Structure 1
């Protein structure tokens, strides 16, 4: 008589766990490549300011007049968030949660799951929220073409027309 709780083979949950692990490796490596690309981008003038990104996107959402720097920053943020590789970051969170849940279910071998089993749902909710936020800001691409760009005072003073 064997008192071991482990089965000889891999069950459905174990198979799904390894599938999630495979996708996790793919998404995590793509996210690594994507973040390395982002780190190589040159910063824009308003990009280093506190809440600069949020201010630029808020101005675009509300159809407020924007400076050229704000418009450039909003364009870059929208392009960054529209990239297909950008979605690998939340997808790697999602597959990490799936891996945890499936691994816990495989470890239980049919016993009743506890609350600990479903801790993997937290990164899944986080990933879902990230994807929703990225889609909301990516939809602003249509508004970029109709955005009102005003010349800032510093640009007006430095231009030859402002020196009269």
Structure 2
């Protein structure tokens, strides 16, 4: 059975989507099973910690541990399955439309290339992951502040 180039690409995109989706489920399953850092429950904590790393500001030990977790998550090869799966969905849509147009003898319309939206989005996600993963070197050079004793905080709060 000869599907032609668009049909072959459509089948290939479908198979790759299955592979990447499986990797996404494995990655998310691993993240759900582990105990998360307490700072992960705070709204905007990751943005604040990553901004401190970019500015090379000192971090507390909790912030350093949380930042290390964020960088390790972004450095995982399975993390890139998320943008890859999104890209493959868009690619599947585009080549599937082109395959159907090839069979019918029509011309591509704007509808054919709507799959480009998730493809562009996935490239942005991959770039963000690379940026966070690249902070490993900066994170090694950042000073970690000593935690303040809890007794001093108690006396200040009771006065």
Fold shared, TM-score > 0.5 on shorter chain = yes
Give the match for residue 27 of structure 1: 20
Name structure 1 gaps, 5 residues minimum. Answer: 1-7, 160-164
Larger Rg: 1
Secondary structure at the counterpart of residue 56 of structure 2: coil
Q: Give the Cα separation in 2 of the matches to 1:48 and 1:152.
A: 20
Q: Is the helix fraction higher in 1 or 2? A: 2
Q: Mean alpha-carbon deviation: is it higher for 85-94 or for 105-114? A: 105-114
Please give the residue correspondences for 1:12-23 in structure 2 after superposition, counting only pairs within 5 Å: 12-23=5-16
Give the match for residue 44 of structure 2: 51
Give the match for residue 127 of structure 2: 132
The aligned length equals: 150
* CA deviations over 1:106-128 (Å, ceiling 9, x no partner): 11114210111001001100100
Give the match for residue 67 of structure 1: 60
2:33 pairs with 1:40: yes
The equivalent position to 2:109 in structure 1, one of 100, 108, 114, is 114
* CA deviations over 1:65-94 (Å, ceiling 9, x no partner): 111000000000000000011100100001
Q: Give the Cα separation in 2 of the matches to 1:56 and 1:17.
A: 42
Post-superposition offset of 1:9: 4.8
Q: Give the Cα separation in 2 of the matches to 1:158 and 1:142.
A: 35
